[in-house]
Amino acid sequence: MKKIIIAFLVSVMLSSNVSAGADGENSLSDKPRVVKDCFEGLNRATFSLNQGLDKVIFKPVAKGYRNLPAPVRSGTSNVLDNLSSLITIPNNFLQGEFKTAGVNTGRFVVNTTLGILGIFDVAKKMGFSEYEKEDYGQTLGVWGVGAGCYVVLPVLGPSTIRDTVGSFINVLGGDPYYNASTHGNNEYLSDSIYMTTKIVSGVDFRARNLESIDNLEKNSLDFYASVRSLYLQDRQQKIANSNPTIEIKYEGDWEEIESN
C-alpha cells in the first residue's frame, strides 16, 4: 500500500510539473516560482481541522512543555537537532555539498559522543559552522523537480506534492534512524521510540512558537494564506540556500517564526 501511495504521489507531481512547464510558472529560473494552490478548498478544510486539533491538543501540550526547566527543553531540542543530522548528511551528499556533509558528520560524531547523544551542543562551542537542516524535498528541488501543487496535510500541516514525496523517501530507506528503529531488531531502538521523537519534535516546535503563531493569526486577514506564503517562501529560500527575508527555522518544519 505504501508503494502504491508513493507511486501515485510521484505521478501527480510529475504531471503537475509538466502542466506547469507549459506556462513557465514552475520552470527553473532566477524568478521565484509560483506554486499553485490546486486543492484550495480541500486544503482550507484540512487547515481548519488542524487548527481545531491545535487548540484542543497541541497548544495545551506545548504550554505544559514550556513549564519544564529551561535546561530540559534546551537539551531536548539539541537531541532532536542532532538526530536530524541523519537526514541532513545524506542530503548534503546528494546535493553535492561534500564539505558541508563532512562538517555535519563531524558535528554529529562530536555531539553524539562528547555531547552525550546531543544533549549538549559541544560542536558549536568547538567552532563548527552553523548547522543548516536539509531534507529530501529540498534535494528534489535542487535537482530541478518543481514543487507541484501546494497541499495541507492532516496534522503535519503545509507541504507541496514534491515535499510530500520527499517525506516518503524515509519509508524507502532514506532515514538511517528510521531504519535502525523499525527494521534494525536491536535492543536500543524501536519504532515506538522513533515515533516518540517525532511527536516530541512537534511539541518542541509548537512550544517555541506559541506567541509568534498567535500573533500571526491575530494580525492576518487570511491566516491560511499567510501560512501558505511563509511556508513557500521558506522552502524556496532553503532550496536556493539564500538568506531568508523572513526568519523561519525548521524542525523539518518551522522551529521559530518571527512575524513582523
Residue-wise pLDDT for 45-61, tens only, equals 999 999 999 999 999 99
pTM over cut 0.85: no
Identify which has the larger pLDDT, 5 or 50. 50
CA distance 250 to 256: 7
pLDDT tens, residue by residue, 98-127: 999 999 999 999 999 999 989 999 999 999
* Cβ-Cβ contacts under 8 Å for 212 (sequence gap 6 or more): 256, 257, 258, 259
pLDDT above 90 for 41: yes
**Rounded mean pLDDT, 195-219:** 90
- How open is the CA angle 252-256-258, to the nearest 5 degrees? 135
What is the pLDDT at residue 193? 77
- Residue 178's pLDDT is 73
